[in-house]
């Protein structure tokens, strides 16, 4: 089994390209189900989750071609409205085919996605929103059976809490519903805006994306076209934190500061230099250690939960104490014991972690517990003395494209190695 070997202590210098956002790419791929015409997507990252969704779309009848970072998806004739458990269980975003299949075909049978290492993440808000649009929903032996024989109709839907997944899913589905749909307390993430931009290019009528109120006016059909996926803000923030941990200067090619939301101010307060220039975002960190800075994870534009683990690794090396409060997912401190194996001083009390920064961490064998946790261990390992050996790379491969290759190109000593368990 492959593991990632990291020899820490080297500063990072050079140009590091930011890939397309996984969390956006997966949903705009699903949007191909809403039209019979070809949807071309550019800047699609080569990731395990993307490849897994391609398996499901192929099963449903989507013709897929292309190469590199470009995909051509044509759902001219769907051969199935069943998304089976064996495929959906491997990647949670697969569940989002339910609404588009229902909107286009009037029926769908999709496996429930199950739980997740970072919390239960239920889909009840997805299902309640579809019911509000006129769908009949039944649960049978782990599957959602949805039907809308008379078609979907617009509705006013207020989410009881901000849900990125439910906002995306409902917005896509409502594009083909009759009449007007209003989503209140909608998520505001950049990926929501990117998906809306893709849908508008396809002919959808959507207003208010990026705010807490989104208005969708249904149309009879959507067309194909070309859309470029937004840069991955989580990847950009993760590599910025790596610079904060080890020092150096990187141009995060293709990055945009507006995508970082509150994370930008937090990183500036911690002592990093961030500036936007032609070609991307430049991040610098020289000399003094980073400064212990408190954070609280929140929906965008607040500090993103998907950067919490990486930030904790940075704070483990900071000057002073920081308090990290996780409010989005209930089990998202699973990386703490692994960071402590590297010497981090962290105390967890419920959903709050107190991190006392130390000048030095020590390399050790560590194990990834989820996607973002794996990146936190890499941030810490890049700064630690000696060798860090990271196992369970399948988590990493789900969300960070060519990570070892990108890091080597900017000076890190990182390599995949075959190590017996």
The annotation places the binding site for phosphoenolpyruvate at 22-23
Reduced to 3 states, what is the DSSP secondary structure of residue 190?
Answer: helix
Q: Token pair for residue 367?
A: 């194990």
HSE (side-chain half, CA atoms, 13 Å) at 139? 8
Q: How far apart are CA 378 and CA 39, in angstroms?
A: 36
Annotated binding site: 22-23, 92, 121-125, 306, 328
Closest CA to 121 of 305, 268, 253: 305
Annotated binding site for UDP-N-acetyl-alpha-D-glucosamine: 92, 121-125, 306, 328
Of 1, 116, 120, 139, which one is the catalytic site residue? 116
CB 95 within 8 A of CB 68: no
What length is written for the chain? 421
Residues in Cβ contact with 126 at an 8 Å cutoff, skipping those fewer than 6 apart = 95, 98, 99, 165, 166, 169, 170
Sheet holding 205-207, edge to edge: 156-158, 180-184, 213-217, 205-207
Active site residue 116: yes
Q: What are the CA-CA distances from residue 115 to residues 5, 170, 269 (Å)?
A: 30, 21, 36
Residues in Cβ contact with 128 at an 8 Å cutoff, skipping those fewer than 6 apart = none
For residue 207, the 8-state DSSP code is: E
Sheet holding 295-296, edge to edge: 295-296, 321-325, 352-356, 345-349
**Residue appearing with tokens 């409060």:** 325
Backbone φ and ψ for 130, nearest 5 degrees, come out as -65, -40
Q: How far apart are CA 240 and CA 353, in angstroms?
A: 22
Catalytic residues: 116
């Amino acid at each position: 089994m492959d593991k990632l070997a990291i020899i820490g202590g080297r500063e990072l210098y050079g140009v590091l390209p930011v890939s397309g956002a996984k969390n956006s790419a997966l949903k705009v791929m699903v949007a191909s189900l809403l039209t019979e015409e070809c949807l071309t997507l550019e800047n699609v990252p080569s990731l395990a989750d993307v490849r897994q969704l391609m398996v499901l779309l192929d099963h449903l009848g989507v013709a897929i071609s292309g190469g590199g970072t470009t995909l051509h998806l044509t759902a001219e004739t769907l051969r199935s409205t069943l998304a089976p458990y064996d495929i959906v269980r491997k990647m949670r975003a697969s569940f989002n085919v339910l609404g588009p299949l229902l909107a286009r075909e009037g029926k769908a049978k999709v496996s429930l996605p199950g739980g997740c290492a970072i919390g239960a993440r239920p889909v009840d808000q997805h299902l309640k929103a579809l019911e509000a649009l006129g769908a009949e929903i039944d649960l049978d032996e782990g599957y959602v059976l949805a039907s809308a024989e008379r078609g979907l109709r617009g509705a006013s839907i207020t989410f009881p809490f901000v849900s990125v997944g439910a906002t995306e899913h409902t917005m896509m589905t409502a594009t083909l519903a009759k009449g007007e749909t209003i989503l209140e307390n909608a998520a505001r993430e950049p990926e929501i805006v990117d998906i809306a931009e893709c849908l508008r290019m396809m002919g959808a009528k959507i207003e208010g994306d990026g705010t807490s109120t989104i208005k969708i006016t249904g149309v009879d059909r959507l067309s194909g076209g070309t859309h470029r996926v937004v840069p991955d803000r989580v990847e950009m923030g993760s590599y910025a934190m790596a610079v904060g941990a080890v020092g150096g200067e990187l141009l995060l090619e293709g990055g945009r500061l507006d995508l970082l939301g509150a994370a930008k101010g937090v990183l500036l307060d911690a002592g990093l230099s961030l500036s936007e220039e032609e070609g991307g975002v430049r991040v610098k960190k020289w000399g003094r250690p980073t400064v212990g800075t408190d954070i609280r994870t929140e929906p965008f534009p607040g500090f993103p939960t998907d950067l919490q683990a990486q930030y904790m690794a940075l704070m483990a090396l900071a000057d002073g104490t920081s308090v990290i409060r996780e409010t989005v997912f209930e089990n998202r401190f699973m990386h703490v014991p692994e960071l402590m194996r590297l010497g981090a001083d962290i105390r967890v009390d419920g959903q709050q972690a107190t991190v006392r920064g130390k000048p030095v961490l020590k390399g050790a064998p560590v194990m990834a517990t989820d996607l973002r946790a794996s990146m936190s261990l890499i941030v810490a390992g890049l700064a630690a003395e000696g060798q860090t050996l990271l196992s369970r790379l399948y988590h990493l491969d789900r969300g960070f494209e060519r990570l070892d290759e990108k890091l080597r190109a900017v000076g890190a000593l990182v390599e995949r190695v075959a190590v017996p368990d």
